[in-house]
Every structure is written in C-alpha cells, then in structure tokens.
A = this chain, B = another copy of it.
Amino acid sequence: MLDKEIASAILKSVDEGFDEQVAFTQDLVRLPSLRGEEHTAQDFMAAAMRKRGFDVDQWRIDVEAIKDLPGFAPVKISYENAFNVVGSYRPKAVSGRSLILNGHIDVVPTGSWDRWTRTPFDPHVEDGWMYGRGAGDMKAGLGLMLYAYDAILRAGYAPAAPIHFQSVVEEECTGNGALACLQRGYKADCALIPEPIEPILLRAQVGLIWFQVHVSGDPQHASGYQDAGTNAIEKAFGIWQQLKELEKDWNARKVEHPLYKDHPHPIRFNLGNVAGGEWTSSVPAACTIEVRVGVYPGWKLEDARAEIEACVRQAAMSDPYLSNNPPTVEYHGHMAEGYVLENAEEPEKVLADSHRAVFGKDLTEHVTSAATDARFFGLYQDTPGMVYGPVCEQPHGFDERVDLESVRQVTKTYALFIAEWCGLQSR
C-alpha cells in the first residue's frame, strides 16, 4: 500500500494539473481523427510525449507485418496515414512492475453536423461535461494517461518501472493498431486502458465480427408489372430479418455463459450501413448491408462465421431468385475474440486499492456487450488487460460528452495505480 502522505500529495497534484489536462484534451478533440485521418492527432500525441522526455516510436501500421498474427482483422482501407505512437518512459533504475497504458486515437463518424448542438470538433465545457466527437471515446482517456504521470512528477517522484504510453489507431474497426504494438514487441506486466466505461473494472467483453452481405437483384425497368425484376434492396432487408432471428438465438444461448447469463442482451446485431440501387426508376441490381455482431468469449470465430453464413444461405434458399443468385458474405473489419480478465489478482488488487483511495468505496466490476483492445494483451500476450475509465454519454452519438469530474477522479486512480504498481523513486 502506498504511503498515505505520498498518496495525498499525488492526489493534490492531479488537481493542480487538471485545468491544463482539460485544455490538452480539448486540443486533442479539435483534431478530427476520423478513420484514415488520424495522423495529425498522432503528431500531437507524439509531441506531448516527446515534451515529457519519453522515447517516441511513431510508425505506420504495416499490414504485411501483422496479417498472419492471431487477432488480425481484415482491412479494406489504406493505412497510408494510420500511424501508431508509443512513448516509452524508462527509469534509470528499475525496481517496480512495468505498465502499458493504452488508448485509441480514432473516432467514429460524426453524422450530420446540424444535429449536434455545437460542431463536433469544437469541444466546449458546460455543466461539468466536455462535448465533442471523441471527447469520451476516448480522448479524455488518452489525456489522463499522460496527466496521471505528470501528477507523480509534480509531487516530486518518478515511476520506478518502465511505462509504455500507447496511442493507437483502428480500435473502432479492427484492433490492428493495438495488434501492431504487440508485433512491435511492446510488453509489460500489466496493461490498463481508460475506455470510458465508468470507473468500474471490466471483467469480460464480447468479441466482434463485422461483415457485409452483397445481394444481387434482377434489374428491370421499374414500369414493369408488380413482379418484374428482383429488388436487391428488399431482398437484402429480408436477409437482415433472418439475421435478427439469429441474434435472438445467440442471446438465448447466454445461459451457457456464466458471466453473461444475467446480462439483459449480451449480443447485439447492428445493421450499420446500407447502400443499394442504381437509379430511381430501375429495379435495384445490387445492395450491400454491413452488420456488426457480438460473439461470446470462448466462442471460436470460425464457428460464429459459419453460423452467420448458414443464416444468409438459408435466407437465400427460401427465395427463388436468391437461391439461384446467392448473396455473398465478406468480412471487412472486426474479427475479434471475446475476452475475460483472469489471473490478474495482483493488478486488480492495486486498482481496487487505488479506486478505494479516490472514491471511498469498493471497486465493482461488470461484463459488457462491447469490445475493447484489452483482448490483445490478455489473449495474445499473456498480460492482464484491464479496462477502467471515466463516464461518457452518447458515445458514437450526437453530443457525445464526458463527465469531467469522473475524468479527474479516474486520473487520480491512474496516478495512484502507477505509483503503487510501478513503485516510486525520487526524480
């Protein structure tokens, strides 16, 4: 357990740096790190790390280097501007346990700007919330990693073990950014991710599969009789209805999963995108839907894919046209296994102690129907991957916002965690 006076000094130090931390987070939100456009935000992160004297490693994700590793997900975009940044703090003398602090720089699309109260990349603070795309998911997290470290230094100490500060791309779509950190060789005794899931320990997360269904229709002049042609859009929607039946089936199977059996709806199928048709007066010749599905921890992805493909095949077989012109399934992103945090008693205890010192109550835990990059550390590197972070509302929605008081408190938890996990030495 950390000395009380030291802990108190560190907590006070977080408060002292918090205004600057908020301003830094706002600057980061201003950089629109949408997929394929993360590079300027990564330059900003690299500069912040360099300023702190870290050894900075900034590299473009190389598909060739990771494509055969477990956890790799298929990618259909260019990585020309997809850079990871890792800043490594390496103390002169090492006495404690090493740590990875990991966050993702990529943000999801904003949707129509006119449905935001203010523009999504103009972060403003109101009633204790910071608004903006990525404010919660997860630039507040990226900021607090650095400012937790700063607080320790400001209190007169330095961590006594290496810390790798990772700002990665591609969390929202493939996880290939985190995977590239593994491939690059970064390793530590524990990894901690401040995803905005609230200050609760994440015990389990689902896996994810993204897939497209490409549906062909028989185009005809739309002036034809009722049945002339086969409308690819309507057929695609019929396939989606069948996939929703599979969603029900998968959710019913939660009884087989002790961690998920009490979850109200562990497996969400989301029809996230549709594009179909060529001309208003032509019967659509093609339609593609994009779907996100969750997968229980422990499920083999190949089994899940087989069920998805069988469902699509079955839906097609009941249709005269589709049975002769079967839709195809293509995987265009997430291909993620689920993950349960296990064998992590040591770091869990340190997190629980740190949390209790800040919040005055015990750390609770939960299981989620979402996924995070924590799986990479846990599944492929035998490193506990823990997730614990601030409070966010409307992630992926309009007026996304993060609760700044929760950011302050979580920063304190992280600072105490670093101090206890890594140990302290004098500056």
Chain A residues packing against B (C-beta within 8 Å): 108-112, 115, 137, 172-173, 206, 208, 210, 216, 218-226, 229, 231, 233-234, 237, 264-265, 268, 270-287, 290-292, 294, 332-334, 368-371, 394-398
Contacts and interface: CB of A to CB of B under 8 A. Distances in A.
Given A283-B396, A286-B112, A396-B220, A274 B272 contact: no
Contacts of A225: 264-265, 268, 369
A280 B278 CA distance: 22
Interface core residue of A172, A210, A273 (most chain B CB under 10 Å):
A273
A173 to B, nearest CB: 8
B210 A281 contact: yes
Given A221-B395, A280-B332, 18 more contacts: A108-B279, A111-B278, A137-B221, A172-B281, A220-B396, A221-B396, A221-B397, A222-B396, A224-B268, A225-B369, A231-B271, A271-B277, A272-B277, A272-B279, A272-B280, A272-B284, A274-B284, A279-B396
A286 B268 CA distance: 19
B396 A219 contact: yes
Contacts of A231: 270-271
A273 B279 contact: yes
A280 B270 contact: yes
B210 A280 contact: yes
Contacts of A219: 111, 396-398
Contacts of A284: 271-274
A270 B234 CA distance: 10
Contacts of A274: 233, 274-277, 284, 287
A394 B108 CA distance: 42
Given A223-B370, A224-B369, A398-B285, A273 B278 contact: yes
Given A268-B226, A279-B109, A285-B112, A220 B292 contact: no
Contacts of A292: 222, 280-281
A271 B221 contact: no
Nearest to A271: B233
Nearest to A222: B270
Contact of A285 (B115, B172, B276, B369): B115
Contact of A370 (B110, B111, B221, B226): B221
A264 to B, nearest CB: 6
A368 B223 contact: yes
Copies of this chain present: 2
A178 to B, nearest CB: 16
A275 B275 contact: yes
8 A-B pairs with least C-beta separation:
A223-B370, A273-B277, A222-B270, A111-B285, A272-B280, A109-B278, A221-B396, A282-B396
A77 B276 CA distance: 20
B282 A216 contact: no
Given A115-B216, A219-B397, A396-B219, A281 B272 contact: yes
Interface core residue of A219, A220, A265, A368 (most chain B CB under 10 Å):
A219
A223 B371 contact: yes
Nearest to A293: B222
Given A223-B369, A225-B265, A394-B220, A108 B277 contact: no
A312 to B, nearest CB: 16
Nearest to A229: B397
Contacts of A294: 223
A222 B283 contact: no
Contacts of A275: 274-276
Contacts of A229: 397
Nearest to A212: B280
A233 B234 CA distance: 12
A413 to B, nearest CB: 23
B108 A226 contact: no
A274 B370 CA distance: 28
A294 to B, nearest CB: 7
Contacts of A173: 280-281
Interface core residue of A233, A270, A272 (most chain B CB under 10 Å):
A270
Contacts of A111: 219, 278, 282, 285-286
